[in-house]
Every structure is written in C-alpha cells, then in structure tokens.
C-alpha cells in the first residue's frame, strides 16, 4: 500500500491542450518522487486512502534535525548515536482538536505507527511528537489529515504487536508454529517423495566434516587499493555463512521430518561449532555471514531445545544476543525511513526474525526485535512498489530477496494470522514474473548483476513454484509448468525453499492452467515504471519481447540510470540491452559506465547522462495494449542533471572519482524528454522522441548490444543513419531519422574499462570473462529542440535500409512491411506520430490528427492524446489515453 513508501517533494503542472476539455499532458516538476529517506508525513493533505488501518509515517529525527542516512548496513560508516536517544508518540482523532475517537500511542523508538485497529470512514487527524530520552520536553508536529474511503471500512485488520508476541511465547519449537503443527508436519510428509529425498540428502550431510573459519576461495590482492582489498576479502568469504549455517537448518528439518535423534544431535555438534566462531573474524563479521550464523544457531536453539544443557542454552543465547544486536542497532529510527536498505530487506531482517521468534522471553532483547520487525513489515512491505507486483532493480538482485519474501510472509503470517500472500502486490507478482522473464528466455537485461544469470536460474524456478502453494492463479501455474519442462534439473535435489514446500505440502494439488493466449500481449507495471510487451508469450522460440523502463523510484539501490531505456529480446535472446559488468556496487566501471545512462539505449545530452540517485527519476504516463500494436510513453525529463545525492557522492569520493562532465555527469537543463515506444506485429519497433533544453544541445540516441556486433550502413541522406546488428537469430536493421544532420559512431569500447578485479564468477562458478561489447550512438547538431524517429526491424533476411517515401518540412512518411508511418520531425510544428496497417485493420495516432482506417475516421476526444484503433471480430475497438500519474504522485505528495 502506498503509505509504505518514502518520498520527496511532488509538484505537478497540468498543461491543457487548446483543443480539448481534459488535460492531455502532465509535467512533473518534483525534484524526486521517492526520496532516499522520508521527508514528510503520510497520510496527509486530505488524501483519500483505501484502507481502514493505515501506517502513519513521518521523517526521523535525532532530536536536533531530520535524519540524513549516511549509508546502508554493510557499508563503512558510523551510525549517529543520537538517533537512538529519541522516542516518539502519535495522536489520532476524528476531529482537529483531538478529542473525539482519540487514539494515543505508547512511547516508541521508531518513526512509524501502523494501525492495528479499524478506523471508521471519513476524515481523521493525526500528529506525532518526539523527545530526547534525557528530556521530558515533547516537540509536536503540525496536524495532518486524511480520509478513510467508505469502501475500506470492513477490511480485515492485523493484530497488534503485543498480540503477536503473546502468540509466540510458549514451548519450543516455536518457529513455523511447530509446537502446534509439528506432528501434522511429520505425518503428512511421511509419504512426500521430496521429503524422502531430502532425508537421504541429510544422511550424507552428517558425514561431512565440521567447517573451519577459512576463505571459500582466494583472490590475489597484490597491488589493490585498501578499498579493493576489503571488497576482495568479503568476496573470499562470500556465502560462508550459508555454507556453514544451512547444514544446521537442514538437519533440524530432517529431525522434524523423522524424529530421528541422529539428525538433531549432529545439528547440535555443528551449531556449537559455528557458535564458537569469532564474531569479529573475517569469516563471520559482516552483516551477511553474521546474520547467517545467527539464523542457524537460532534454528538449533529452537528445534533442539530439549537436547541442550543449561550452560549450552546460556551460551547459545549469548551468541544470538550478540549477533542479533549487531543487526538491530541499524534498525530503529533509521531503517523504517530508508527507501530500501538492501541487505536488511534481502537477508538480515529474516535472520533477525528467526532469532527473535526462537528466543522470545528468553533473550530479553528478542521481544523488541520481533516488535520492530512486525511493525516495519506491517508499515513498509512491499518495498520498491505499491500494488503492481513490480520490482525496479531488475532480475539480478530481485532474486536475492526471494527467500525473505517467502519465509517472512510465512513466519509473520503464522504469528499474526494475516495471509501476506493475499496482498495486492503478491497477487500481481506472478504477472511480473511471467511478463518480465518468460521461461526459456533472457530477462529484461537491466539493473545490477543481470548479466551473471540472464536466463531462468534455479532460485527463479523454485520461487515461482513456491508461489503456487499460496496463490491461486492459473497463469502462474502455466508459467511454472513451462519452467519445469524447460529446466527439469532445477526440480531435483534440494534448495532453500524446501521447508516452505514441506510446511504447505498436500499429497494432491489442484493446479489448473490457463493459456497465455488469454492474456493481453503487454502489461504495465506503473508503480515501478516498466512496460513489458510480447508478440507470443506462449512460445519463447517465436517471441519478440520489449521491455521499457522509466522508473519513479529513480536509479536507487541496485537500479540504474536507465530512464526511457529499452531492451529487445527475440527468440529468447537479448538483442538490445544494457552493457557492462558488475564487479562491485561502486567501482570505476560501475559508476562511470555500467550503472549510468552510457550503458543503456536512451538519450545523452552533450554526452552527459542521467543522475544517479532517487532524484534521477522517470515515469510512464501512458500505456496501451492491443492485438497488433503495443504502446508506452515514458517521461525522463527530470532524470538529467548533476549528481547531488549524498549517498552516491560518497561512493564517488571513496574511489577518488569526481562526477563531473569529463566523467559523463553535469547540467544541461533538460526541459523535456518524452519517448513514445511501440512494438508492432511482424517484428517492428518504432520510437519517437521529443527533446527540449534551455540551450542548444547535441542530442545522442544510443543503442546498446551486449552479445552481438553492430555494423554501420551507408545512407543517402545526412538526416538518416542506419546500422545492422548481426545475430544468430537473424539480422536486426535499425534506421534513425531526424530533421537535422546526424552523425553515427559505432564501437566496441566502454567509457570506462571493465576489469574483473574482484574475480566475479558466472552461473557456472568460473571467473566471468569481461568481453568488450558493441554500442551505437547517433548524434544531432546542437539544438534546443530535437525529435528522433527510430524504426527497428527484427529478424531481417537482409541488411535492409528503410527509405522515406516523402520528407517535406520535417513531415516524414515511411512504408515498411504492411505498415505506413508518418511523423512530424520539425520542432516548430506540433508533435505527431501516425502508424497504420490496413491489412491488420490497426492504426495508432499521437497528437491531434484523426485516424482514417478503412472507410471510417476517428477523432481524438482530447488533443495531444494517444489513440489506438483496431478492428477485432468486425468491430472497431478504440482506446484513447492521456497522461496518468503514478500512485506516488496521486497519494503521497508534500502538498496537494
């Protein structure tokens, strides 16, 4: 839900078109939509919310000023100790004087208050106060107001944290409700073939020697900087915690499946071994490895409680407390106001939750751990989206969250009675998976680390399969069935989601399937600014896919400066996609190429790219899906400018690099960048760009090819440039047109060399070879305004060059295949794009022109809108769209 987000100032201006009664275009002028940390209270400004129990959110303070986040857990920074010296209170009432239906909170150490009681419909008022723990002087905020939608008054409401804690306390084992369902878990899995295979695996596991505190691999650090040496050491121990901790968990599960004491006694031997590992040693001192040790020790403490002596219990509790507090100190009055502290959401929140549940009332700190975890989960999950099921960081790091998505939803659902798999985001998640990463095909090719495993990985397969246990969606079932057919080896052996399947096991499962042919060819994930388009979603070997990105969250976390960029996949292969390689979150190649707009098929202004940070945002105002034409409009106007985000400036400083114009960053005062992107039947892509700046700019439209080569082609006109991508699935021919002279550069060099100094390995475990990749840039002469028209033909049989039928005063006409196109490239004229196919009875128009299709003429209801007309089953189907704000802009702005 929207209140689970952090945002900054939003102002928008609606531009009314002279010919229409309704606004057609919206210009966002906010410096950012989703800030790195929360800057104002939500809900406010009289917004109507669709829940009867919102989470109240506000900016954190250290008692003197708003909290500015120095870094994320795992970074080298010192937490401001003052953030732990503050407490908050909340007052909520149905009148501005706070006398009617008054709700007053207890004092708390965090800047969030998820309501666990229903509010009546109508207007509500609230405010928060804070004081330093050393003072009794409360400082109160202004009063905020919101309206509860009457349609939401009967929605179920989650229980309080106190109720959840009461449900946890009791005899061991507590995790996964085993003290209640343990016998049923044992009985129902006696006949489970997967459980039998796992037990056989656990038998072999007991034969493995105890692990030692030593690197998993060695990396030569000779000649490296101190920062690089630190990162190399982390890489040498990467995965160490799971390597030594997972056997403890697995043997505990084997014991619960069999009641065979051999398993739990061997788990004890291993748990005591890793519990004795040095918490300050290289092997287990970082947040990931330390968290894994915490989780494993807590697993055994809970499952093997009756096999521990009093001294052993005391020792394990001390280990859990020490490692748990190291995570928890990063949380209150910090984590909840952060847009996304990646490591915590990915892994360590789950580690701490398991430690907390295992030791409630036995480690006093565990009660506050679980209280905070439950409250932040109630207030903020899902992060990085609203309800659309999307994720803006790309597939590479999306999968790092899968275990926590599954197990925290299961664990906290067990304790609260809330079925988190029924949240709107979870219900839409299957569509995000199947549209953005079809089986037997490459992914969206964007974001950190996508290139390591571009195809479906085992965790992708097991995650999608896990969702079928709790989400009733026949298209999800079809998706998983396809993955099982394409990747049968993924469903043998064991994996990290096994326990979840065992808990939810049924001997007979009804998994009805529905054909993807029943789905629209495209889907819009508006909250994260992604549109996914397909020609044949049912068959990757015949499919043409487009992925378009313009994200309201900006280039946050593992996301990139890729606003208004696109990826094109054909027959499962990535043709156009981002280039470069992920060695580290912020090395030279990452900050000067891989993470930047230089690596994406988007626009540069005087060779300068988009800002890195949440304030380098875009959005997708329009979307249409039809039978023969798919369309999305992206707006990246606010993505450009110098880097001002303190988090990222610190990253540059640490590697002694300045984000200046020489390195691809700077101000060019871009005032407009709207990109119309269409995928047409028969393998054509059309892109129409509208660009404006305060001063003349050399505009460059880029094309990035990560796997194939680019060859430039001759052209008869200086206003047209052509190139061909040579692939193993056919030739891909591209032509770019403008109303000004164009120059093209084709090369296979990075702006900053890619060096695998951190010895990153690929999916096969071998050190990744960083090869050069191909890039094409087509640049205009300097101008304040510019329009590009791009036509791409996929699977060409020859290196075909499209020639204009006519070009007069910037009005260009093209014919390709059975399509006819006309566009206005003259910046002094109103923008216009018209595409028609009489054979397919389909036509599209952007602007004010009417559409003539067959014997009929169709007019825009609003000038400047985008309109699609298709004749289906002898009936004309018309779709007309104007700009639509993302939900963050509708509901969580600083002012109305």
Q: What is the pTM of this model?
A: 0.95
CA-wise closest residue to 247 among 500, 494, 502: 494
Annotate 152-214 with DSSP letters as a single string. Answer: GTT---PPPHHHHHHHH-SSSP-GGGHHHHHHHHHHHTTT-HHHHHHHHHHHHHTTSPPP-SS
Mean pLDDT, range 580-596, rounded to an integer: 96
Contacts of 7 (CB under 8 A, 6+ apart): 32, 33, 34, 35, 38, 39, 40, 42, 888, 892, 893
470 vs 263: CA distance, rounded Å: 29
What is the pLDDT confidence band of residue 11, given thresholds at 50, 70 and 90? very low
SS3 for 28?
Answer: strand
DSSP designation for 450 = G
- Window from 56-70, 307-321, 567-581 with minimum mean pLDDT: 56-70
Integer angstrom CA distances of residue 344 from 45, 326, 376, 411, 429: 31, 12, 12, 16, 21
Which of the four pLDDT bands, split at 50, 70 and 90, describes residue 801? confident
Confidence of residue 384 (pLDDT cuts 50, 70, 90): confident
Sign of the CA dihedral with 95 first, then 97, 99, and 102 last: positive
pLDDT tens for residues 531-549? 999 999 999 999 999 999 9
What H or E segment, with its residue span, contains residue 693?
Answer: strand 684-697
| pLDDT above 70 as % of the chain | 96
User: Is 895 a residue whose pLDDT tops 80?
Assistant: no
Q: What is the mean pLDDT of residues 16-23?
A: 48
Q: The tokens 């029924």 sit on which residue?
A: 422
Q: Classify 764 as helix, strand or coil.
A: coil
Q: In whole angstroms, what is the distance from residue 63 CA to residue 66 CA?
A: 8
pLDDT at 695: 98
Name residue, tokens 């899968």: 402
pLDDT confidence of residue 484: 98
State the residue for tokens 């000649």: 223
pLDDT computed for residue 1 by the predictor? 37
The helix or strand, by DSSP H or E, that contains position 262, with its residue range, turns out to be helix 261-275
Question: Would you mind telling me the total number of residues written for the chain in this entry?
Answer: 896
Q: What is the mean pLDDT of the chain?
A: 94
For residue 87, the Cα-to-chain-centroid distance in whole angstroms is 32
Mean predicted confidence (pLDDT) in 347-356? 98
**How would residue 796 be classed by pLDDT, with cut points 50, 70 and 90?**
confident
HSE, CB side, 13 Å, CA atoms: give it for residue 11: 4
d(CA 380, CA 792): 41
22 pLDDT exceeds 70? no
Whether the per-residue pLDDT at 807 is higher than 90: the answer is no
E strand or H helix at 688: strand 684-697
Residue whose pair of structure tokens reads 């049912």 in the numeric block: 538
pLDDT greater than 80 at residue 7 = no
Q: How high is the pLDDT of residue 498?
A: 98
Reported confidence tier of residue 896, pLDDT bands at 50, 70, 90: low
Which residues, 6 or more positions from 704, have their beta carbon under 8 angstroms from its beta carbon?
576, 577, 578, 579, 599, 600, 601, 773, 774, 775
DSSP helix, strand, coil percent of the chain (3-state; round to 5): 30, 25, 45
Mean pLDDT of 587-605: 98
Phi and psi at 787, nearest 5°, equal -135, 130
Q: Which residues contact 51 (CB under 8 A, 6 or more apart)?
A: 1, 3, 148, 149, 152, 155
Question: Does domain 2-158 bear CATH number 1.10.645.10?
Answer: no
The pLDDT of residue 14:
35
> Residue 6's pLDDT is what?
33
CA distance 298 to 305: 10
* pLDDT over 70 at 694, yes or no: yes
Q: How confident is residue 20, by pLDDT bands cut at 50, 70 and 90?
A: very low
CB-CB contact of 69 with 58 (8 Å): no
Structure tokens that stand for 171 in this block: 């005899």
726 φ, ψ (degrees, to nearest 5): -95, 115
Does the pLDDT value for residue 10 go beyond 50?
Answer: no
Q: How far is CA 138 from CA 110, 131, 339, in A?
A: 15, 5, 27
Cα dihedral across residues 837, 840, 846, 848: positive or negative: positive
Tokens at residue 748, please? 């296979």
Q: Which helix (H) or strand (E) holds 294?
A: helix 287-303
Rounded distance, CA 607 to CA 593, Å? 12
Looking at residue 800, what is its pLDDT? 78
Q: How does residue 848 score in pLDDT terms, banded at 50, 70 and 90?
A: confident
Which tens digit of pLDDT belongs to each residue from 397-416?
Answer: 999 999 999 999 999 999 99
- The per-residue pLDDT for range 424-455, each reduced to its tens digit, is 999 999 999 999 999 999 999 999 999 999 99
pLDDT of residue 72: 59
Which of 637, 632, 778, 791 lies closest to 718 in space, CA to CA? 778
Per-residue pLDDT, 303:
99
Domain locations along the chain: 2-158, 550-840
CA atoms within 13 A on the CB side of 358: 25
Task: In whole angstroms, give the CA distance from residue 638 to residue 674.
Answer: 11
How would residue 169 be classed by pLDDT, with cut points 50, 70 and 90?
confident
Q: How far apart, in whole angstroms, are the C-alpha atoms of residue 802 and residue 1?
A: 47
- Contact, 535 vs 679, CB < 8 A? yes
Burial of residue 606 (number of CB atoms within 10 Å: 0-12, 13-18, 19+) = middle
State how beta strands 851-853 and 856-858 pair: antiparallel
CATH code for the part of the protein at 550-840: 2.70.98.70
The C-alpha atoms of residue 368 and residue 360 are separated, in whole angstroms, by: 9
Burial 761-794 (b: 16+ CB within 10 A, else e): eeeeeeebebeebbbbbbbbeebebbbbbbbbbb
H helix intervals, 468-597: 474-486, 498-503, 588-589
Contacts of residue 162, defined as CB under 8 A and 6 or more positions apart, other chains included, come to none
Other residues' Cβ atoms within 10 Å of the Cβ of residue 197: 14
Q: Over 90: is that where the pLDDT of 684 sits?
A: yes
Sign of the torsion formed by the C-alpha atoms of 27, 30, 35 and 40: negative
Radius of gyration of the chain (CA): 28
In DSSP notation, 122-157 reads EEEEEEEEEEETT----EEPPPEEEEE-GGGTT---
| Cross-strand partners of 680 | 629, 684
**Span 305-325, mean pLDDT?**
99
84: pLDDT strictly greater than 50:
yes
φ/ψ of 876, rounded to 5, equals -70, 130
* Tens-digit pLDDT profile for residues 465-514: 999 999 999 999 999 999 999 999 999 989 999 999 999 999 999 999 99
Q: N- to C-terminal Cα distance for the chain?
A: 19
pLDDT class of 799 with cuts at 50, 70, 90? confident
Distant-in-sequence, close-in-space partners of 158: CB < 8 Å, separation ≥ 6: 53, 114, 116, 378, 416, 417, 418
pLDDT at 267: 99
Alpha helices in 616-689 (DSSP H): 646-654
């Amino acid at each position: 839900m929207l209140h689970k987000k952090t945002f900054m100032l939003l102002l928008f201006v609606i531009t009314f078109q002279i010919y229409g009664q309704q606004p057609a275009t919206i210009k966002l002028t906010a410096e950012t939509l989703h800030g790195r940390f929360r800057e104002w209270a939500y809900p406010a400004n009289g917004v109507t919310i669709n829940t009867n129990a919102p989470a109240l959110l506000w900016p954190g303070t250290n008692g003197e000023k708003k909290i500015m986040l120095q870094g994320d857990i795992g970074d080298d920074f010192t937490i401001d100790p003052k953030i732990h010296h503050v407490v908050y209170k909340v007052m909520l009432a149905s009148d501005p004087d706070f006398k009617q239906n008054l709700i007053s909170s207890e004092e708390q150490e965090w800047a969030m208050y998820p309501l666990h009681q229903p509010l009546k419909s109508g207007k509500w008022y609230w405010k928060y106060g804070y004081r330093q723990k050393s003072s009794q002087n409360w400082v109160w905020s202004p009063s905020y107001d919101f309206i509860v939608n009457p349609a939401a008054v009967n929605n179920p409401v989650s229980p309080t944290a106190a109720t959840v804690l009461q449900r946890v306390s009791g005899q061991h084992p507590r995790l996964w409700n085993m003290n209640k369902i343990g016998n049923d878990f044992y009985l129902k899995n006696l006949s489970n073939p997967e459980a039998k295979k796992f037990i056989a695996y656990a038998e072999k596991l007991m034969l493995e020697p105890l692990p030692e505190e030593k690197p998993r691999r060695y990396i030569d650090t000779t000649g490296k900087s101190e920062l690089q040496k630190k990162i190399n050491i982390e890489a040498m121990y990467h995965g160490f915690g799971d390597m030594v901790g997972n056997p403890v968990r697995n043997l505990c599960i084997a014991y619960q499946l069999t009641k065979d004491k051999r398993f739990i006694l061997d788990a004890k031997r291993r748990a005591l071994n890793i519990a004795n590992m040095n918490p300050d040693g290289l092997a287990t001192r970082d947040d990931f490895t330390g968290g894994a040790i915490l989780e494993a020790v807590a697993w055994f403490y809970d499952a093997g409680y009756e096999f521990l002596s009093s001294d052993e219990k005391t020792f394990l509790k001390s280990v859990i407390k020490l490692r748990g507090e190291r995570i928890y100190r990063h949380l209150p009055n910090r984590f909840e106001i952060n847009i996304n502290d990646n490591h915590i959401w990915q892994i360590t929140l789950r580690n701490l939750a398991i430690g907390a549940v295992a030791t409630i009332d036995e480690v006093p700190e565990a009660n506050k751990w679980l209280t905070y975890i439950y409250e932040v989960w109630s207030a903020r999950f899902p992060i990085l989206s609203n309800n659309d099921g999307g994720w803006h960081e790309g597939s590479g790091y999306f999968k790092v969250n899968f275990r926590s998505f599954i197990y925290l939803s299961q664990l906290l659902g067990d304790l609260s009675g809330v079925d988190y798999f029924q949240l709107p985001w979870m219900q839409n998640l299957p569509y995000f998976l199947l549209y953005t990463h079809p089986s037997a095909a490459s992914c969206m090719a964007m974001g950190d680390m996508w290139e390591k495993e571009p195809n479906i990985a085992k965790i992708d397969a097991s995650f999608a399969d896990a969702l079928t246990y709790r989400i009733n969606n026949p298209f999800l079932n079809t998706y998983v069935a396809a993955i099982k057919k394409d990747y049968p080896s993924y469903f043998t052996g064991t994996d990290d989601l096994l326990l979840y399947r065992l808990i939810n096991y049924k001997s007979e499962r009804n998994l009805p399937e529905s054909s993807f042919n029943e789905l629209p060819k495209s889907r819009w994930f508006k909250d994260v600014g992604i549109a996914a388009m397909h020609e044949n979603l049912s068959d990757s070997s015949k499919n043409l896919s487009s992925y378009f990105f313009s994200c309201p969250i900006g280039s946050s976390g593992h996301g990139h400066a890729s606003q208004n960029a696109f990826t094109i996949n054909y027959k499962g292969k990535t043709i156009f996609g981002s280039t470069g390689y992920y060695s580290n979150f912020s090395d030279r190649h990452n900050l000067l190429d891989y993470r930047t707009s230089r690596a994406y098929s988007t626009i540069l202004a005087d060779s300068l790219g988009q800002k890195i940070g949440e304030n380098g945002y875009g959005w997708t105002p329009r979307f249409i899906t039809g039978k023969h034409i798919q369309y999305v409009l992206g707006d990246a106007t606010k993505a450009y400018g110098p880097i001002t985000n303190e988090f990222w400036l610190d990253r540059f400083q640490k590697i002694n690099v300045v984000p200046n114009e020489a390195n691809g960053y700077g101000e060019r005062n871009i005032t407009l960048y709207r990109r119309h992107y269409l995928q047409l039947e028969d393998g054509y892509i059309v892109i129409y760009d509208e660009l404006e700046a305060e001063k003349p700019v050399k505009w460059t439209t880029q094309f990035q090819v990560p796997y194939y080569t680019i060859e430039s082609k001759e052209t008869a006109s200086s206003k047209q440039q052509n190139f061909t991508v040579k692939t193993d699935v056919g030739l891909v021919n591209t032509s770019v047109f403008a109303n000004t002279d164009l120059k093209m550069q084709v090369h296979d060099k990075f702006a900053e060399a890619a060096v695998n100094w951190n010895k990153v390995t690929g999916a096969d475990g071998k050190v990744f070879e960083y090869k050069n990749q191909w890039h094409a840039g087509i640049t205009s002469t300097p101008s304040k305004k510019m329009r590009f028209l791009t036509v791409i033909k996929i699977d060409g049989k020859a290196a075909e060059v499209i020639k204009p039928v006519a070009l007069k005063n910037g009005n260009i006409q093209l014919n390709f295949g059975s399509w006819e196109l006309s566009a206005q490239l003259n910046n002094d004229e109103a923008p216009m794009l018209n595409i028609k196919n009489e054979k397919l009875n389909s036509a599209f128009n952007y602007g004010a022109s009417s559409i003539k299709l067959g014997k009929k003429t169709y007019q825009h209801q609003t000038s400047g809108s985008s309109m699609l007309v298709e004749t289906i089953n002898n009936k004309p189907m018309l779709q007309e769209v104007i700009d639509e704000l993302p939900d963050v802009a509708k509901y969580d702005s600083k002012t109305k």
